[in-house]
Structure 1
Amino acid sequence: MVILRKRIHERKMVERNYEPPSHWMQWEKRVYCNYDANICAALSLLQNFLMNSRPSVAFGTMLLLFVSVPVSTTFSAFRMLDIVLWLMDATHVG
């Protein structure tokens, strides 16, 4: 499915003769043109790692990914709330 999306995107870019906007930096232009290929390569590496490892390592890796994202998001949200409360207190007192 990923490869099909990549090929459809490549065909659309060829048909439209797409060029990124001129105000973009050079690395943005390079990455945007190869975005689907980069995603496909990253997923391929992840899939190869998970398929060639023991089931417990694969499940542990997936569990680590699924748990770390909500935990880091919650931590960041509480830290932002702490900063907002500190700023409100500083403006109220000052």
Structure 2
Amino acid sequence: MDADHRGKDGRHYNGRLVDENLIVLRRRIHEMKIMEKNIDEPPSEWWAWEKQWHKFYTSDVLELVGLLQILLMNARPSIVLGLGAFLVFSVFMSLFVIFCCLVNIVIRGIQF
């Protein structure tokens, strides 16, 4: 939806929407999709604690993501890049260790 190609101050956004509140927009779209599907009750096979937390799960996750976004936006860029690099390195190292363990199991055979 692109009603006007120029903002109030005359800036040209190249047909893109301004994404100041993109998380809020995503949350509202998600809520509308849920309302369209008429998902009022969780499945009956769920346990009581799952049914209780199901109501607040989306809002809790969105609050956490919003808090993380605020913290990262207020941090220095080098800290954010360092945390990102650490996260990527950790994931690759974990995958490497799992791969090595699987190769070790295959080579030696499964011993009970």
Partner of 1:71: 93
Instruction: Name which structure has the greater RCO, CA cutoff 8 Å, separation 6+.
Output: 1
Partner of 2:84: 62
Amino acid of the structure 2 residue aligned with 1:37: S
| CA-to-aligned-CA distance 1:34-70 (integer Å, 9 cap, x gap) | 3332332222122122122222212111111122112
Partner of 1:34: 56
Change (3 A) 1:58 1:7: same
Deviation at 1:17, TM superposition (A): 4.5
Larger CA Rg, structure 1 vs 2: 2
Change (3 A) 1:85 1:32: farther
Aligned alpha-carbon RMSD (Å): 2.5
Pick aligned residue for 1:9 from 15, 30, 47: 30
Partner of 2:40: 18
More helix by share: 1
Q: What is the TM-score normalised by the length of structure 2? A: 0.61
- Give 5+ residue unaligned stretches, structure 1: none
Q: How many residues align?
A: 90
Give the Cα separation in 1 of the matches to 2:48 and 2:106: 37
Pick aligned residue for 1:52 from 54, 57, 74: 74
- Give 5+ residue unaligned stretches, structure 2: 1-21
Deviation at 1:89, TM superposition (A): 5.4
Amino-acid identity (%)? 37
Change (3 A) 1:39 1:56: same
